[in-house]
Homo-oligomer: A and B are copies of this chain.
Amino acid sequence: MNPTQLSVQLNCPLPKLDFEVITLGHGSGGLLTHRLLKAGVFTILKNPLLNEQHDGASLNLSGPVAFSTDSYVISPIFFPGGNIGELAVNGSINDVAMCGAMPQYLSLAFIIEEGLTMNEFWEVLLGIKKASEAAGVPIVTGDTKVVERGKGDKLFINTSGIGAIHPRAKIRISQIQPGDKILVNAPIAQHGVAILSVRQGLEFETSITSDTRPLHMIVRKLLDECGEAIHFLRDPTRGGVATVLQEVASQAGVGIELVQSHIPMDEQVEGACEMLGLDPLYVANEGVFISIVSPQFSERALQILKTEFSTAAIIGEVIAGHPGQVVLKSKIGGRRVVTMLPGEQLPRIC
């Protein structure tokens, strides 16, 4: 994006600064840090809490709250469907949502590699602003560090999120029971394939974009309607659906049966996975979540998911047999055990 497009998108003039790249001085805590933050970050992300500019934000919270943190080291920082800024906002919103809570506040911490251009930085900030506004979750406190060239990789972001736990939420691994249904909201493996599509040496023509999006509103609907019947929630980011379900089976001491033909997947994504020799069950997602729901409420939960996600599906169930194991019934009728991702399928995916 050029400065004019950025300015239009940000709906405010870009600050006039006499530097075009970020230098170590911008991480000094001194004059340059102030100029960068005052001229840019505080203006773009402004809200009453952030405007206090103290070491931390003072928030009103009550009752049980969920607290989560994640660092984002995705490479490249710009990718089809978003940038590291959107990912960092949506990612921590979703981690809080998976605890059965409504995210209310986010922190934002940058580790910038010296030499990042201001244009790149504004574009990431635009992603942050858009995602934060779309989700209705403000950035209330933050930090900016700069490291020397070759000691980072353009930009790493940490976000932490806090929010009140839904009064009817009882999301706990120990709630999971044999008979529970396993639901997924949206087609899997999209984020991982979108990132691969832009990685050097692996470029191929595709319109696949990252599925980064906030999931807290759909989680809220599920909890409003199904309450305690929602036994567990988890977003299968790194390691994919397979790793998350293997972890659940092992922690809950239950078996899991998946039906491959029920797992929603985009045709292009499926094709790309075949071409690249990737098992989509291990490919990272950003806007996908797994719900484990009591059988009495599974159809109701599916209807709720379908109001926003047309391809939502019941993809399997929890069983008492083969505790600790996830078994997949394949499309051609075979059965195979699904283990945890053994090594690294695709580094720096989130």
Contacts and interface: CB of A to CB of B under 8 A. Distances in A.
Interface stretch (A98-106, A254-262, A291-299, A302-310): A98-106
B153 A29 contact: no
Contacts of A52: 172-173
B59 A62 contact: no
Contacts of A247: 34
Contacts of A32: 342-344
A141 interface: yes
11 contacts: A28-B239, A28-B343, A30-B344, A34-B247, A54-B98, A54-B171, A55-B98, A59-B64, A67-B140, A68-B107, A71-B109
Interface string A85-112: 0000000000110110100010111110
A213 interface: no
A339 B142 CA distance: 24
A338 to B, nearest CB: 12
Contacts of A70: 109, 143
A111 B142 contact: no
Given A30-B243, A348-B148, A162 B55 contact: no
A271 interface: no
A68 B56 contact: yes
Given A55-B95, A111-B156, A344 B25 contact: yes
A58 B99 contact: yes
Contacts of A71: 109-111, 143, 145, 158
Contacts of A148: 347-348
Q: Could you tell me the dominant secondary structure of chain A's interface residues? A: mixed
A215 to B, nearest CB: 12
A234 interface: yes
Contact of A153 (B53, B140, B141, B147): B147
Given A28-B345, A341-B30, A158 B69 contact: yes
Interface string A4-32: 00000000000000000001110111111
B73 A147 contact: yes
A165 B58 CA distance: 8
Given A28-B343, A62-B62, A238-B29, A56 B98 contact: yes
A251 interface: yes
Contacts of A63: 60-62
Nearest to A28: B344
A308 to B, nearest CB: 21
A144 to B, nearest CB: 9
A129 to B, nearest CB: 18
A161 interface: yes
A340 interface: yes
**Closest 9 pairs between A and B when the two form their complex, measured CB to CB:** A30-B341, A29-B238, A56-B68, A29-B239, A69-B107, A160-B160, A158-B158, A151-B153, A28-B344
Contact of A111 (B31, B59, B73, B237): B73
A209 B340 CA distance: 45
Contacts of A140: 67
Contacts of A152: 151-153
A235 interface: yes
Nearest to A342: B31
A117 to B, nearest CB: 18
